[in-house]
């Protein structure tokens, strides 16, 4: 709801005098549906959707990459309300100073994208959603308040999620009566599967059916086509070849990244609040110092002009 609200009801923010949020960063392991989530947000909000893969905007010629970024936002403003989705953001806006041998293209793109993100008045109902598998590589300036200041971790699916994914993906597939999709989704063999892995499992099970029904060259094709279904034995075969694309080691790494980013965000908020408190304390101290100076001046004995000289 918090992601959808500024897209669906920007007038509420304006009525309260609040600045519209600029965007959100989806991060987490690959194959967990970050792109689908971005499309779902745009669809649910009724906004137009522009999808960009980070590397698509990079050009070796000076000025072309920055121009490409400007054109994306011009298109978005022309079709607002609009959600602009940047996939593989880490390739588009890596930390400045990491562009070895790139002629400074990445740094110029980072600066151009920051300029567009900061152009609040000209964005006109343009909301940015970005996705990455490597959030630690992104330039920190992109995640400051007013830019991609909402960070959402998209984890690997739970057993219940896997059941839902497999059920949805198999809705149009012929599944045998002996198959219990709940058992398959909750199976230990599917532990660590991403959404993409679930899709691969169904695909491999389907291929097992096809292989099973291949007619040898020295035999004739049956006159009546055999109706094919995916059965449990086909899933057993598929499990042998479909391994989790995210290793246990990588899962732990993503958990650490999530904790680190959450900690950094909490620290930033605390520092901002501390700076505000320090500023208020400093202002109070200055005012009090001024009051004391005035009091001291008033307490000093005044010289009698007749006795001077």
Burial class (CB in 10 A: 0-12, 13-18, 19+), 238: buried
Provide the whole-model pTM: 0.76
Residue 293 within any structural domain of the chain: no
Half-sphere exposure of 109 (CA within 13 A, CB side): 32
Pairing relationship of beta strands 82-87 and 126-132 according to DSSP bridges: parallel
Q: Hey, which bits of 70-171 come out as E strands?
A: 82-87, 126-132, 150-153
Same-domain status, 150 and 23: yes
Residue 83, strand partner residues:
49, 127
Instruction: Write the CB contacts of 124 (distance below 8 Å, at least 6 apart in sequence).
Output: 77, 80
Same-domain status, 64 and 149: yes
Residue 185: count other Cβ atoms within 10 Å of its Cβ: 22
Cα–Cα distance for residue pair 230/210, rounded to 1 Å: 10
Same-domain status, 129 and 226: no
- Quote the number of domains for the chain: 2
Same-domain status, 141 and 239: no
Residue 301 within any structural domain of the chain: no
pLDDT, position 72: 93
Residue 283 within any structural domain of the chain: no
Q: 236 phi and psi, to 5 degrees?
A: -60, -40
CATH of the domain at 43: 3.40.50.300
The alpha-carbon radius of gyration of the chain (Å, integer) is 29
- Contact between 207 and 199 (Cβ < 8 Å): no
- Contact between 94 and 137 (Cβ < 8 Å): yes
From edge to edge, which strands make up the β-sheet containing 150-153?
48-53, 82-87, 126-132, 23-27, 150-153
Residue 308 within any structural domain of the chain: no
Residue of 153, 150, 116 lying closest to 23 (CA atoms): 150
Per-residue pLDDT of the chain (309 residues; tens, 9 = 90+): 567 887 788 778 778 887 777 889 999 999 999 999 999 988 988 899 999 998 888 877 778 889 999 999 999 999 988 999 999 999 888 888 766 555 577 788 888 988 888 875 555 688 999 999 999 999 999 988 878 878 999 999 999 999 999 999 999 999 999 999 999 999 999 999 999 999 999 999 999 999 998 877 666 766 666 789 999 999 999 999 999 999 999 999 999 999 988 877 666 555 555 544 444 444 444 344 444 444 444 444 444 444 444
pLDDT, position 132: 95
Residue of 238, 207, 208, 210 lying closest to 226 (CA atoms): 210
Terminal-to-terminal C-alpha distance of the chain: 80
Residue 147: count other Cβ atoms within 10 Å of its Cβ: 20
Residue of 125, 146, 131 lying closest to 45 (CA atoms): 125
CATH of the domain at 239: 1.10.8.60
Residue 10 within any structural domain of the chain: no
Domain extent at residue 181: 159-249
Residue 278 within any structural domain of the chain: no
């Amino acid at each position: 709801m918090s992601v959808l609200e500024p897209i669906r009801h920007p007038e509420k923010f304006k009525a309260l005098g609040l600045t519209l949020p600029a965007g959100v960063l989806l991060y987490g392991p690959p194959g967990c549906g970050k792109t689908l989530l971005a499309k779902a947000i745009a669809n649910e909000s009724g906004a137009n959707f522009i999808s960009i893969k980070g590397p698509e905007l990079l050009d070796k010629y000076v000025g072309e990459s920055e121009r490409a970024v400007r054109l994306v936002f011009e298109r978005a403003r022309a079709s607002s309300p609009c959600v602009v989705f940047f996939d593989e953001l880490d390739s588009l806006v890596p930390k400045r100073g990491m562009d070895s041998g790139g002629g400074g293209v990445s740094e110029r793109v980072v600066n151009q994208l920051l300029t567009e993100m900061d152009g609040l008045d000209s964005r006109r109902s343009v909301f940015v959603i970005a996705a990455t598998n490597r959030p630690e590589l992104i330039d920190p300036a992109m995640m400051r308040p007013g830019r991609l200041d909402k960070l959402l971790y998209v984890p690997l699916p739970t057993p219940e999620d896997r059941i839902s994914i497999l059920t949805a993906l198999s809705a149009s597939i012929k599944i045998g009566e002996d198959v219990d999709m709940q058992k398959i989704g909750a199976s230990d063999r599917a532990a660590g599967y991403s959404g993409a892995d679930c899709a691969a499992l169904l695909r491999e099970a389907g291929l097992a059916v096809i292989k099973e029904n291949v007619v040898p060259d020295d035999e004739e094709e049956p006159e009546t086509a055999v109706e094919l279904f995916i059965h449990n034995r086909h899933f057993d075969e598929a499990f042998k070849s479909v391994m989790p694309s995210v290793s246990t080691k990588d899962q732990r790494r993503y958990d650490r990244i999530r904790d680190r980013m959450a900690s950094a965000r909490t620290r930033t908020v605390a520092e901002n609040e501390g700076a505000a408190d320090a500023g208020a304390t400093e202002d109070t101290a200055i005012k009090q110092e001024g009051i004391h100076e005035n009091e001291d001046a008033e307490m000093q004995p005044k010289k009698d002009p007749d006795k001077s000289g």
